[in-house]
Amino acid sequence: MASLAVDSAWLPLPSESLCRSFNVCLEEANPADILPALEAPMSSVSDNCNIPKPPPLPSKVRTRTKYSKGPLECSFVPNETKNTWDMLFKEGYGVDVCIITKDKSCVLAHSNILSIASPVLSNILSQSKVKHGMRYIKIPGVPHDAIFLFIRFLYSSCYEEEELRKFVLHLLVLSHSYSVPPLKRVCICLLEQGWLTRENVIDVLQLAKNCDAPRLAFICVRMIVKDFRSISSTEGWKVMKRANPALEQELVESVVDADSRKQERQRKVEEKKVYLQLYEAMEALLHICKDGCRTIGPRDKVLKGSQVTCNFPACKGLETLVRHFSNCKTRVPGGCVHCKRMWQLLELHSRMCNEPDSCKVPLCRHFKEKMQQQSKKDETKWKLLVSKVIAAKNAVGPFSSRRSGLS
């Protein structure tokens, strides 16, 4: 149990009287009765046949269907139609555009379809010259297969998952550069759903920043922060470090911030544990003084030697502290560290107790009177501590619910 940082004044108290005070049955509060719900009176049926019947109530099933999570589909394209457009692209009937790729090969297409599917391609095609009935445009720096998948998607929105996985980064760049939002959404969605790896996450992050995909960039940064040690040793990180040192600095700062937040969360967790231990000590102290436990309790109760283990977590340790406090010859707050802790627990209980006149915990009323004589600084410290312990108490639950299994 953590000790408090507030010293308490010493009051001379004979050990015998203190032991008698600790020689300490709580009655569980009955839950409130639940009132039965009143039934609404039934309206009488009119005998007048001239009154028209009211319309039926709207169906709940229809309401749920109408206002479902997503919007209702206004159209549905059958597979036959997609296959037709896919066949048109693959067979190249009546093509009038030749797209020259990185390796000097060509992908054939129809200018009308490209213009409708991509406003950027529409602008490029409008500025290109016609030679022998064909328009020639270039898409440099991209493999032939990636351009083939890109143009095929413009026709039928079809793709093979394995091929898309292989060229997903190229397709992300193409869909952004040529303004094809459907393909861009597909690439981003698949990358977010498990296609990110330690080897490609740095490349994906840089593309996400350049291709206006903030959510994907956030997921990449979160993955890098979580597995920074292994990702920082990949080839992608080394290339990024040379080509984009500003991004490296940004990622390192993100890792440092995440580590600081983790340490702060851990500190708050540990701090909450201390306040929870103090709350449990207050429970155990009140339990000992009212019910008695094992060998220590109120003088008006006979304790059983074969009593089972107590359900109060801090009871065993507090019993030892109480036994020491009652027999210690020093008992000066500054002279014995164990007695000092006991004084502080008694004062903390007094500040949390709402019934000092009837409370069976020793010195409860005394510390209530002592509050009026404390300095403003000490009073502020105690109020802050009490508020923290009460917050821990409210997080755990009421006192009566914690001792329901007590024998």
Boundaries of every domain in the chain: 78-160, 265-298+310-396
Asked if pLDDT for residue 9 goes beyond 60, the answer is no
* Range from 22-31, 72-81, 212-221 carrying the lowest mean pLDDT: 22-31
d(C-alpha 388, C-alpha 397), whole Å: 14
List, for residues 379-390, the tens digit of each pLDDT value.
888 888 888 888
Which CATH architecture fits 78-160? 2-Layer Sandwich (3.30)
Across 281-295, average pLDDT: 77
The residue among 391 and 45 whose pLDDT is bigger is 391
| pLDDT recorded at residue 178 | 95
CATH topology of domain 265-298+310-396: CREB-binding Protein; Chain A (1.20.1020)
Find where tokens 């490349």 sit.
203
Across 260-283, average pLDDT: 86
Asked if pLDDT for residue 175 goes beyond 90, the answer is yes
In 3D space, the residue among 100, 173, 168 whose CA is nearest the CA of residue 134 turns out to be 100
**Which residues have C-beta within 8 Å of that of residue 167, sequence separation ≥ 6?**
143, 145, 146, 149
Asked if pLDDT for residue 263 goes beyond 50, the answer is yes
The residue among 51 and 237 whose pLDDT is bigger is 237
Asked if pLDDT for residue 197 goes beyond 60, the answer is yes
From residue 317, alpha-carbon distances to 1, 294, 340 in Å are 9, 12, 15
DSSP 296: B
List, for residues 32-41, the tens digit of each pLDDT value.
332 232 233 4
List, for residues 127-150, the tens digit of each pLDDT value.
998 888 899 999 988 999 999 999
Phi, psi torsion values for 371, nearest 5 degrees: -55, -35
d(C-alpha 1, C-alpha 278), whole Å: 7
List, for residues 330-368, the tens digit of each pLDDT value.
766 556 877 888 888 888 888 888 877 778 787 777 777
**Which DSSP string do the residues of 136-199 spell out, in sequence order?**
EEE-TTS-HHHHHHHHHHHHH----HHHHHHTHHHHHHHHHHTT-HHHHHHHHHHIIIII--TT
| pLDDT recorded at residue 30 | 35
Across 98-121, average pLDDT: 92
The residue among 368 and 62 whose pLDDT is bigger is 368
Q: Which contacts qualify for 192-201: CB closer than 8 Å, 24 or more apart?
A: 192/216, 192/219, 195/165, 195/168, 196/220, 196/223, 198/227, 198/230, 198/231, 198/234, 199/234, 199/235, 199/236, 200/169, 200/236, 201/231, 201/236
